[in-house]
Amino acid sequence: MAWLRKNVAIDIGTTTILVFTRAEGVKFQEPSVVALDIYTDSVVAVGEEAKKMLGRTPGNILACHPLQGGVVSDYRATEKMLGTFLHRAVDKSLLHPDIMISVPSRATQVQKRAILQAATAGGAHRIFIIEAPLAAALGAGVEVSDPRGTLVVDVGGGLTDVALISLGGIVVAESTTVAGDAFDAAIARYILEQHQVMIGEQTAEDIKLRLGSVLALDAPERLEVKGRHRADGLPARVYMTKSDLDEALAPQFTAIAETVHRVLAQTPPELSSDLYDQGLLLSGGGSLVRGLSEAIQKRCGLRVNYVEQPISAVVRGTGKALTWIRRMRTSEDLLAEKTRQQVMNREILRKR
């Protein structure tokens, strides 16, 4: 019966969750938002429907992002969200699926275990973990087992993950919480400081997508923004231009460029020569904000290459890793072994 069990790849991010199956490819992409009725502890909505409820719910409904910075911040909400999405992924299958989940490269053992437990409670059979930058490289078609170095900068919603990959593993990695959500917060803060008008996170995200996306070829020169004036509390209207957006996001781009620079400073010389020749790979939805690639190139002196379909690169790479699933040990086994080794090491030190 094991051969009937479906394998599912999941890129579970702070703002978006993508689900991949080998038969259908990227099956769906939804906001990683869940709305719960706090009185009955039941799911009211998930995904796009729940996102529309952010900032608009009555007292008994809680709409939230259950992950922050790429890791679980609300275990119960994460469990229910994963359960709903897994049910959609396997359709009417009676067997619980084996799943491969991408996690940040510098996630701690505690953070990994929280994801494993939430996925198990959500209905997964066996769970395997792959680091997000490694998955992004696979999704970009990089031969990760090659001895040449590949630098991946994965800019998600809550986390920017920078990792140097060689011989199938991560050599050096750094991360920062400056990512897509931080861009939205910077836009809202800029409008508040310059115009004394308060806007919500969805309005800030809309400004970023319409004015700042490299995909928005017909973007207007300025955009009308509606919010609430801080002084009198009345509805107000201001305008945001492309130059305003560049000014608002410049400090965020600098922070990401500095993270990339820190990884380069720790890179072995032999791998540095590889990077000089081939540049770095930029993936993730946050990478599509205009001006980011130029800021990295100016600070680090490397050519910046966008991966094909950067938003889905991680989940497509995670999906490729599904072919290894029968040869891999479960993440629960690996975590248990690492914990046992740590206990043994402490015991050895205690007896000295």
- In DSSP notation, 290-337 reads TTHHHHHHHHH---EEEPSSGGGHHHHHHHHGGGGGGGSPPHHHHHHH
Distance CA 333, CA 264 (A): 33
What residue has token string 């020169």?
A: 221
> Model confidence over 206-242: pLDDT tens digits?
999 999 888 877 778 889 999 999 989 899 999 999 9
pLDDT of residue 70: 78
pLDDT of residue 346: 57
Distance CA 256, CA 177 (A): 9
pLDDT of residue 277: 85
Q: Show contacts of 232-235: CB within 8 Å, 24+ apart.
A: none
pLDDT of residue 54: 84
pLDDT tens by residue, the chain, 352 residues? 455 678 899 998 889 999 998 888 899 999 999 999 988 888 899 999 998 888 788 888 988 889 888 788 888 889 989 888 888 888 777 788 889 999 998 888 888 888 998 889 888 888 899 999 999 999 999 988 889 999 999 999 989 999 999 988 999 999 999 999 999 999 999 999 999 999 988 899 999 999 988 887 777 888 999 999 998 989 999 999 999 999 999 999 999 999 999 999 999 998 998 898 889 999 999 999 999 999 999 999 999 999 989 999 999 999 998 887 655 555 555 555 555 555 555 555 555 5
